Chain A
Amino acid sequence: MSNHLLSLLIWLPVVGAVPVLLAGAGRPGLARWISLLVAVATFAASLALLPAYDAATGTLQLGESLSWIPSLGINYSLAVDGISVALIILTTFVQILVIVGAWEIIQNKPHQYMAAMLVLEGLMIGVFCATDALLFYVFFEAMLIPMFILIGIWGGPRRVYATLKFFIYTFFGSIFMLIGLIYLYHKTGGSFAIADMANVHLTLTEQAWLFFAFLLGFAIKVPMVPVHTWLPDAHVEAPTGGSVVLAAVMLKIGGYGFLRFSLPITPDASHEFAWLVIVLSLIAVCYIGYIALVQQDMKKLVAYSSIAHMGFVTLGIFIAFLLVRDSNNPDAARLGMQGAMVQMISHGFISGAMFTCIGVLYDRMHTRQIKDYGGVINVMPVFAPFYVLFAMANSGLPGTSGFVGEFMVILASFSANPWIALFGAFTLIIGAAYTLWMVKRVLWGDIKNKHVAELKDVNGREIFVLSAFAAGVLVLGIWPEPLVHLMDASVARLVEQLAITKV
């Protein structure tokens, strides 16, 4: 059992989607309960990773490998390290909340919605487990299909534009990645194993081409400036659950891709072009911060805020190159990279929670325009504290998870170059400004209009979802060490790899 744990995690939700579909539109209750059962079982299975995975070594573990297309040397091979374990548990955790969150909200073909969610979950877990580049690519692309369906069927009025933009954007990026992978396949002499690719000697020019191929693929996913404009549109049109998964998990796959591909395969080019990624990350923090400030639509605002916060992920990863190679400060590099990883998990909780909150309001008012709200606290006294908590977490308040990752990245980046820290720390001001200004206009004040006056407070189901997110935000904020420890050895190995030049 335990040597097939990863396969179980991938296929349980995918196979579990079949009975959900079979339950059919006529029995929505059954479909919901089956999908909840599957999601909970997957979550339970993912928790089994914790005792099974040995965090002390940080190696790739729990591996399984089957020959898939022998003629092309493509293998179905899976393994996880501490970083993947953390991301998998985030995925399965969020998935339960998404299913509970959609419970009676999705009335149109709920069985198909739930099934799409479960398939998506399995594919995302697949991305985090794959150690074969082509398998990774297959999961990476296949993931787009259920998301395409989720936005396209259950989305808002401009869903066709948004889905096309989303699909073409990401597909465009990953084509370049595929070309890069095929090139590497030839270099390795016929292997798609990521480990083999990492061992190939590459000239700086080769690395540079590959680096940009990967950058395009993953930067769009993260998304980084200037390839971010699909995200606000996708979020605005996506149903709440789609937005939650998109922000909480799918964006992380971009950051994860950098770790798995760019770092080990093209370390010298990554070092060479680290400045570019760092500059783009800082632009994400500052420039996007200002854009978020003037958004009128709550979902757009949080979408832009996601881009700004994901800037810390790419920043944390790429300052590691400066720290290891230029400043000879591997501990600071670890600190920065850990910060990036913690930020990924934390952003999963916070963005998921923020989109859930907006969903709660949208379900009642059918508008996301900030100007339509005002004085919500007067009528939703239970909802309001959650909203304030998540807003504070989004502003990086210590004691919440939003602080931990950004704190580590800023600390580490000062050691690389104080100017990087200066621009990064600007998030303290601008992040608080756009988030709390939204809170002021939505939550505080007197009741703005009669629609707000008629708002009903959150029900038990919603309280459950919000409380679960709140627990994640607070536990991680108060005691990040368990998560840090889970990933520490893996991060340390990555940092060691960075130091070794390939040319």
Chain B
Amino acid sequence: MFKWRSDDFSWVDFTIDVLRVLIVLGVVVGAWNTLSSGRISFAQWVNLFAAGLSQGSIYALIALGYTLVYGILLMINFAHGEVFMAGAFSTVFLAEALNRTGFLNEQPVLAILLMIAFAGLVSMSVAILLERIAYRPLRGSPRLVPLITAIGASFFLQYTFRGLYGSGFKAYPGVKALQGVIQIGGISIPVVQVFVFCAALLLMLCLYWLVERTRVGKAMRAVSENKEVARLMGIDIDWVIMFTFGVGGFLAGSAGVINGLFRPQGVNFYMGFIPGIKAFTAAVLGGIGNIPGAMLGGLFLGVIEAIGPNLVLAGLGIPGANQLKDVIAFTMLVLVLIFRPQGILGERLSETKA
């Protein structure tokens, strides 16, 4: 940073440095203006933060699928948003049925576990089929080829599910046990947001344990390190890759149900697109290929999106700040990539991985 010595002065570096200073200045001024005006109370900030954390933990769960696959195959599975949609969209019917019979409100824990298991299975099957049919035959080909295939697969999945379930919007039924708020000293946080955060955290811990503490996790890490050597050590690479897709799919499917509890509306065949893009952003933010990075990146993105518009943009006097939520998210991505190209937790990757 800041290489302004006369012998290697470059206008490009200079402009980027000025840009960095301006952006940091804008953030500080905007935040200062908002906070000093006191338009939004402390309780409201906490509410926004909590909602952002919940949204972020959903992003994180989806982002893990991107990062797992990237870690092993060095490819971006752009159809992963659709894997999320597959679980969420299929389970809405199960949830409706459970609600009709009254099981959902009598045994909420069992019912939610059942929904997560079902969504996880659906998404897992979709992810595994995707790998087997669309990606494995192309494994040796140039890296652009599976990328384009992934985009094609994404459309294929969207319109398959539209054909299966129709194009209308569905909504998850409300769970009585998750309605209501937790009061902590004048601040009220909806129970569902606490639940969403805890459930996502639990799933992420399970994944961490799986990757770091089990035999199959060791195999995954070995394949990610070097496929050929792993093969020589007797690891069934095809199986490990399929397993990785399956795990990513399961996390995406459970994210679908958790998302359904948090934001019940808007379930349709197109619902995976935006969360998919956001989760990919989160994975890059945290350092793609890095598991704790994806978790952190997701939470970070969710919170920034929730707080950023009201904190920074409204403070700078920009009208319609809430509409610029995505601008904040992607500006954040650009900023992180300028300051730390490898992502928040990313290591510097070797040439082959970058």
Chains A and B bind each other: no
Interface residues of B (CB under 8 A from A): none
Interface residue ranges, A against B (CB under 8 Å) = none
